[in-house]
Amino acid sequence: MALPSASLARRCFIAGNWKMNKTVADSLTLVRELRNAISQVRDRVEVAIAPPFTALHPVARALEDSNIALAGQNCHASDSGAFTGEIAAPMLKELGCSYVILGHSERRQFFGETDAGVNRKTAAVLKAGMLPIICVGETLEEREGGKTLSVVETQVKGCLQGFAAAEGAKFVIAYEPVWAIGTGKVATTRQAQEVHAHIRALLTGIWNADTAQQIRIQYGGSVKPDNAAELLAQTDIDGALVGGASLKAADFSAIVKAKG
Ligand code: PGA
């Protein structure tokens, strides 16, 4: 019997990044709608949502016995300590998180997050028993300056430095061109696939081909129900990190169901 191809072996992963939106009451309404909308989607697609910290605990309870995983939007690199206003990875784990989004471009742009910082946070997330969704992506200026692949290369190498292949195989990378986030300007499938293939080649160099073939690379940036299927059909696009469209159950569930 033929072995499944490497791309078939990677389970599509759709994650919703709610950012700084939704009170607890609003979060619970959205979760109820989502549970109904995607209850039939079992094996083909993995689904996670990242509500704001304040809603994680009630949302975790509302997700019990569902097929939706929970993710944090950020964490601190230390397990505990005098870091006013910060949240540690073990705290997210305790609330039921399986994933933590790290290095989102809004964190990089507004909160000074660096590749070295993401690298340390990745170690904290693993130590706490969760998995990272590591975000990379170029700005419009960098793309127009022909620097996309080199910028992404620096970010990928900086964030992933020092991890063993066995750890890396479970990481999720999200390629999110900054100019496509929240702007309605989605990258063309060709632009996205080119960078995804480049990232996979980088992962082969960092670890090895087997590991690189296991790692899921999500695309993020204005993913909507009407463009999701085409993006998800690309060889190296293994899912999506969805912002705006994850705030509406109908839109997010349509994206979850878009993988053919
Ligand atoms: P968007 O955000 O879908 O609203 O463009 C994506 C993200 O920031 O992860």
Mean pLDDT of 202-207: 98
Percentage of the chain surpassing pLDDT 90?
A: 90
Q: Is residue 52 part of a domain?
A: yes
Residue 239 beta carbon below 6 angstroms from any ligand 1 atom? no
Question: Looking at residue 206, what is its pLDDT?
Answer: 98
Question: Looking at residue 6, what is its pLDDT?
Answer: 44
- Name the 3-class secondary structure at 241: strand
| Closest C-alpha to 222, from 257, 173, 189 | 189
Return d(Cα 62, Cα 72) in angstroms, integer: 16
Closest atom, ligand 1, to C-alpha of 220: 6
Q: Is residue 181 part of a domain?
A: yes
Q: Is residue 96 part of a domain?
A: yes
Q: Is residue 179 part of a domain?
A: yes
Residues annotated as catalytic (active site), given as ranges: 104, 176
CA of 244 relative to ligand 1 center, distance in Å: 6
pLDDT above 80 for 39? yes
**CATH number (domain holding residue 61):** 3.20.20.70
- Split into its structural domains, the chain has a count of 1
Residue 109 beta carbon below 6 angstroms from any ligand 1 atom? no
pLDDT above 90 for 26? yes
CA of 81 relative to ligand 1 center, distance in Å: 31
Question: Looking at residue 9, what is its pLDDT?
Answer: 78
Domain around 73: 6-256
Mean pLDDT of 233-243: 98
DSSP character string of the chain: -PPPPHHHHSPEEEEEE--S---HHHHHHHHHHHHHHHTT--SSEEEEEE--HHHHHHHHHHTTTSSEEEEES--BSSSSSS-TT--BHHHHHHTTEEEEEES-HHHHHHH---HHHHHHHHHHHHHTT-EEEEEE---HHHHHTT-HHHHHHHHHHHHHTT--HHHHTT-EEEE--GGGTTTS-PPPHHHHHHHHHHHHHHHHHHS-HHHHHHSEEEEESS--HHHHHHHHTSTT--EEEESGGGGSHHHHHHHHTT--
Tell me the pLDDT tens digit for each residue of 136-179.
999 999 999 999 999 999 999 999 999 999 999 999 999 999 99
Question: Looking at residue 256, what is its pLDDT?
Answer: 97
Residue 50 beta carbon below 6 angstroms from any ligand 1 atom? no
Question: Looking at residue 195, what is its pLDDT?
Answer: 98
Question: Looking at residue 7, what is its pLDDT?
Answer: 45
Tell me the pLDDT tens digit for each residue of 2-11.
333 444 479 9
Q: Is residue 1 part of a domain?
A: no
Mean pLDDT of 74-81: 98
Average pLDDT over the chain reads 95
Residue 241 beta carbon below 6 angstroms from any ligand 1 atom? yes
The band of 42, judged by pLDDT with boundaries at 50, 70 and 90, is: low
Q: Would you say the C-alpha torsion 14, 206, 2, 232 has a positive or negative sign?
A: positive
Question: Looking at residue 184, what is its pLDDT?
Answer: 85
pLDDT above 50 for 222? yes
The pTM assigned to this predicted structure is 0.95
Residue 199 beta carbon below 6 angstroms from any ligand 1 atom? no
Tell me the pLDDT tens digit for each residue of 96-123.
999 999 999 999 999 999 999 999 999 9
DSSP character string of 104-116: -HHHHHHH---HH
Supply the residue whose CA is at minimum distance from atom 9 of ligand 1. Answer: 243
Mean pLDDT of 178-182: 92
